């Protein structure tokens, strides 16, 4: 229910309400307002009462004036006046919402209530930031006008939670966009982000987002790109919505600063109406049976080494690996997000310390846009919700079976992803506490809400505006999230970048023992290896053994703490791994020296591209220094070439020296850049190997 009205205005002097419930049962109760009161202000308060008490018997109405400052208010004739929430009406009239001119009101969704309550209890949570680079000319006035046009068009950007007795979402009609421009050199980018982080964002004050620009201005474009920072609160906007709004801003900028047409529909009001029309009985029945069972565990990946209470770290899988992962997932009837969820379940199983079949649980973020509301995919609103997912992990089961189980469970809950986590908790049996912690970790570090997986939507949209912006001399990057505190001890966010790669960002919060760095390394390692190793017969136990080996995934770039491995005895010398057998005995070998920072998949692709008769073997590079002289496996023949990508050259050269020191013929060493074409590098290695294999 919504109504157009003028929101309560701060009175010129104190407003007093006198409520008379009547001396006898048949007398009508009356309320007198002493102070300024006009019809619009009363209607605003009555509309808010109707939102919270839709079953109230009747709406009161003013019946006259006593002078200019006293306003009697009575119920309509024949109504059961004593049941009307007069106290709430008195509260609203004596404590009006100030700071806005006109407003419409809607009740907040259950999810919004939960997010707002959590943010009030833990300031700083649920505030997200998107940032991107702006190359080329930046007209600041046009920039401001464009955002104002978006604010005028999208009612949710003019929304704020009311400050009355009960949460109420007020949609104001006249709100200026908040755009702050700082000339280049005013402040450093890290300092600007840190300041924005400390400032936070109040969801009770419109507008619903804040835009900060560093650099540009006066129509000039320089060599240094401008940087844009977009700040918003998840109780009003989700990340899908933020990207929709950025696209709307680009359209306005291309149109000279003004979008055509009026308010967008559907909007937040239509979504609230849709929610209120839903029969919760099927959802209640589903979640009461499908919510995580009491025996499901939600261990947080832990480390005994203490560190900062919050941390953030990031790793990227290149486009070739991401493409292979997509194809492999499709082969098993899954998606990249489904693969990540299945592998995450394996990681949690390992963290639980279980030895047999065990059910684990964790949160998955759903878009909430697969609902039957027409236009939901274009609706800026807080639809995304973290919902619980549980799955049984059995070491004896195949990876294909685990993928199918995860896929089916996600599909089943898709029909009811519009409910909130609080509703699910109310409808299901209490979940068990988190798995027991190692003795070295204080018990206070255990949190029953576990971890959250977020997989942001795919590649650029079909109506991408990059080409249109380029025609105006503007090039923009894809908005990248800086990471919101979600309330989960560990949150893993996966997104696509402009080059088609997958970026994984892990954050930990509330506990210094939830190690985002290590869990990110393990996640990337599995995503890197699985498309090459998993087959019909590959079991979960095989993945667990893979995790026990040295990590081969890209090392994360930490924005938070990282924990070094504990010192101990020297590691056992790793053996050579055959990536491609020789075409004939004694043909010799090309040895690839693995460098830190490149995934194992890169060397597999290089071996696939190699066409010479030699075998191709991989020499993992230890963290503590170069290898002793490696011995080729079987009857491969001598090492003819030591090859490495940039970063592995030192280890390759030192390995060749050690071979010579041991009396052997040193192989030729070939180093290339990390971005070199695999096929071209393979041809080079084939030519060098042929030369090294010639006598004399």
The beta strands (E) that lie in 155-253 are given as: 159-161, 169-172, 179-182, 209-214, 226-233
Note the pLDDT tens digit of each residue in 297-313: 776 655 545 555 667 78
Residue 543 has pLDDT above 60, yes or no: yes
Pairing of strands 16-20, 30-34: antiparallel
pLDDT value of position 72: 75
Please report where in the chains the tokens 């949209």 appear, as a residue.
Answer: 461
Q: When comparing pLDDT for 184 and 149, which is higher? A: 149
The pLDDT-based confidence of 633 (bands split at 50, 70, 90) is: low
The pLDDT-based confidence of 654 (bands split at 50, 70, 90) is: confident
How does the average pLDDT of the chain come out, rounded?
A: 78
* CA 648 – CA 594 distance, rounded (Å): 6
- Sign, CA torsion 586/591/550/402: negative
CA dihedral 244, 249, 255, 258 (to 10 degrees): 110
Map residue 508 onto helix, strand or coil. strand
The CA-CA-CA angle for residues 173, 179, 184, to 5°, reads: 175
pLDDT value of position 89: 73
* CA 257 – CA 245 distance, rounded (Å): 14
Nearest to 150 by CA among 237, 240, 233, 264: 264
CB 456 within 8 A of CB 494: yes
Q: CA–CA distance from 637 to each of 26, 55, 588 (Å)?
A: 107, 87, 4
Residue 623 has pLDDT above 50, yes or no: no
The pLDDT-based confidence of 25 (bands split at 50, 70, 90) is: very low
Note the pLDDT tens digit of each residue in 9-22: 333 346 677 766 55
User: What's the mean pLDDT in 107-121?
Assistant: 91
User: What's the mean pLDDT in 468-474?
Assistant: 89
pLDDT value of position 56: 63
- Tokens (6 digits) for 349: 């199983």
- Tokens (6 digits) for 658: 């050690």
Note the pLDDT tens digit of each residue in 300-357: 655 545 555 667 788 888 888 888 899 999 988 999 999 999 999 999 898 888 888 9
Number of C-beta neighbours around residue 536 at 10 A: 8
Q: When comparing pLDDT for 552 and 443, which is higher? A: 552
Q: When comparing pLDDT for 472 and 567, which is higher? A: 472
Contacts of 628 (CB under 8 A, 6+ apart): 573, 658
Map residue 689 onto helix, strand or coil. helix
- Tokens (6 digits) for 611: 């066409």
CA dihedral 624, 625, 628, 634 (to 10 degrees): 70
Chain centroid, CA 335 distance in Å = 17
- Tokens (6 digits) for 58: 């009747």
Residue 62 has pLDDT above 50, yes or no: yes
Residues 407-413: contacts with CB within 8 Å, 24+ apart?
A: 407/333, 407/334, 407/335, 407/338, 409/290, 410/338, 410/341, 410/364, 412/286, 412/290, 413/286, 413/287, 413/290, 413/366, 413/387, 413/389
Residue 153 has pLDDT above 80, yes or no: yes
Note the pLDDT tens digit of each residue in 35-57: 766 665 676 677 666 655 656 65
- Tokens (6 digits) for 468: 């249109």
The pLDDT-based confidence of 83 (bands split at 50, 70, 90) is: low
pLDDT value of position 179: 95
pLDDT value of position 144: 95
Pairing of strands 179-182, 209-214: parallel
The CA-CA-CA angle for residues 521, 486, 599, to 5°, reads: 15
How buried is 654 (Cβ within 10 angstroms: 0-12 exposed, 13-18 middle, 19+ buried)? middle
The beta strands (E) that lie in 206-320 are given as: 209-214, 226-233, 311-317
- Tokens (6 digits) for 140: 């600041």
CB 478 within 8 A of CB 460: yes
pLDDT value of position 426: 87
Please report where in the chains the tokens 């940032």 appear, as a residue.
Answer: 131
Pairing of strands 61-62, 70-74: antiparallel
- Tokens (6 digits) for 298: 């939600």
Map residue 430 onto helix, strand or coil. coil
Longest CA–CA separation in the chain, Å: 119
pLDDT value of position 133: 93
pLDDT value of position 570: 36
Note the pLDDT tens digit of each residue in 203-255: 998 999 999 999 986 544 456 799 999 999 999 999 999 999 999 999 999 99
* CA 230 – CA 209 distance, rounded (Å): 7
Element spanning 115, H or E:
helix 110-121
CB 348 within 8 A of CB 298: yes
According to DSSP, residue 181 is labeled E
Residue 555 has pLDDT above 50, yes or no: no
pLDDT value of position 441: 31
List for the chain the helix, strand, coil content (%; round to 5).
Answer: 35, 20, 45
Q: When comparing pLDDT for 435 and 617, which is higher? A: 617
């Amino acid at each position: 229910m919504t109504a157009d009205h003028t929101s309560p205005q701060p009175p010129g002097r104190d407003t007093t309400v006198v409520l008379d419930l009547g001396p006898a049962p048949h007398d009508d109760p009356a309320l007198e307002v002493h102070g300024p009161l006009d019809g619009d202000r009363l209607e605003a308060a009555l509309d808010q009462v109707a939102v919270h008490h839709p079953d109230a018997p009747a709406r009161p109405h003013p019946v006259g004036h006593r002078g200019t400052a006293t306003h009697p208010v009575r119920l309509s004739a024949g109504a059961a006046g004593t049941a009307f929430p007069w106290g709430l009406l008195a509260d609203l009239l004596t404590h009006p919402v100030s700071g806005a001119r006109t407003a419409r009101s809607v009740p907040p969704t259950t999810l919004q209530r939960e997010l707002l309550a959590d943010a009030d209890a833990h300031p700083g949570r649920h505030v997200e930031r998107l940032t991107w680079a702006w190359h080329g000319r930046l007209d600041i006035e046009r920039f401001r006008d464009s955002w104002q046009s978006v604010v005028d068009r999208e009612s949710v950007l003019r929304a704020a939670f009311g400050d009355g007795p009960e949460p109420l979402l007020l949609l104001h009609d006249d709100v200026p966009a908040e755009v702050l421009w700082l000339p280049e050199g005013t402040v450093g980018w890290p300092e600007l982000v840190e300041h924005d982080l400390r400032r936070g964002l109040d969801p009770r004050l419109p507008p619903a987002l804040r835009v900060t620009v560093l650099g540009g201005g006066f129509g000039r474009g320089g060599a240094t790109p401008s940087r844009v920072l977009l700040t918003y609160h998840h109780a009003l906007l989700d990340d899908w919505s933020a990207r929709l709004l950025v696209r709307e801003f680009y359209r306005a900028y291309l149109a000279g600063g003004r979008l055509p047409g009026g308010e967008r529909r559907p909007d937040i009001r239509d979504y609230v109406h849709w929610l209120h029309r839903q029969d919760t009985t099927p959802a209640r029945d589903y979640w009461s049976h499908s919510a995580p069972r009491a025996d499901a565990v939600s261990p947080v990946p832990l480390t005994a080494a203490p560190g900062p209470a919050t941390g953030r770290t990031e790793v990227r899988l290149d486009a070739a690996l991401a493409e292979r992962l997509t194809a492999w997932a499709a082969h098993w009837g899954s998606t990249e997000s489904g693969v990540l969820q299945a592998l995450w379940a394996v990681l949690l199983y390992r963290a639980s310390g279980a030895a047999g079949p065990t059910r684990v649980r964790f949160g998955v973020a759903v878009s909430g846009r697969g609902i039957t509301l027409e236009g939901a995919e274009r609706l800026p609103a807080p639809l995304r919700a973290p919902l619980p997912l549980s799955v049984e992990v059995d070491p004896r089961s195949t990876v294909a079976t685990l993928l199918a189980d995860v896929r089916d469970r996600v599909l089943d809950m898709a029909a009811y992803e519009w409910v909130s986590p609080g509703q699910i908790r109310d409808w299901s049996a209490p979940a068990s506490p988190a798995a027991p912690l190692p003795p070295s970790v204080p018990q206070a570090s255990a949190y029953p809400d576990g971890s959250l997986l977020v997989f942001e939507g795919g590649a650029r949209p079909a109506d991408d505006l990059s080409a249109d912006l380029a025609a105006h001399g503007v090039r923009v990057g894809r908005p990248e999230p800086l990471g919101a505190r979600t309330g989960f001890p560990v949150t893993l966010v996966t997104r696509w970048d402009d080059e088609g790669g997958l970026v994984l960002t892990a954050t930990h919060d509330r506990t210094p023992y939830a190690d985002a760095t290590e869990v990110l390394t393990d996640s990337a390692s599995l995503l890197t290896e699985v498309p090459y190793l998993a087959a019909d017969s590959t079991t979960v136990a095989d993945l667990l053994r893979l995790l026990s080996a040295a990590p081969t995934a890209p090392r994360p770039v930490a924005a938070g703490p990282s924990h070094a491995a504990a010192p101990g005895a020297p590691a056992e010398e790793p053996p050579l791994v055959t990536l491609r057998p020789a075409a004939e005995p004694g043909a010799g070998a090309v040895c690839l020296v693995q460098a830190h920072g490149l995934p194992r998949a890169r060397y597999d692709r290089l071996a696939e591209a190699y066409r010479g008769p030699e075998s191709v073997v991989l020499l993992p590079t230890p963290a503590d220094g170069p290898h002793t002289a490696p011995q080729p496996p079987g009857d491969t023949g001598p090492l003819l070439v030591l090859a490495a990508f940039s970063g592995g050259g030192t280890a390759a050269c030192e390995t060749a020296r050690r071979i010579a020191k041991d009396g052997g013929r040193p192989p030729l060493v070939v180093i290339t850049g990390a971005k070199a074409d695999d096929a071209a590098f393979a041809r080079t290695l084939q030519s060098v190997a042929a030369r090294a294999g010639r006598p004399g």
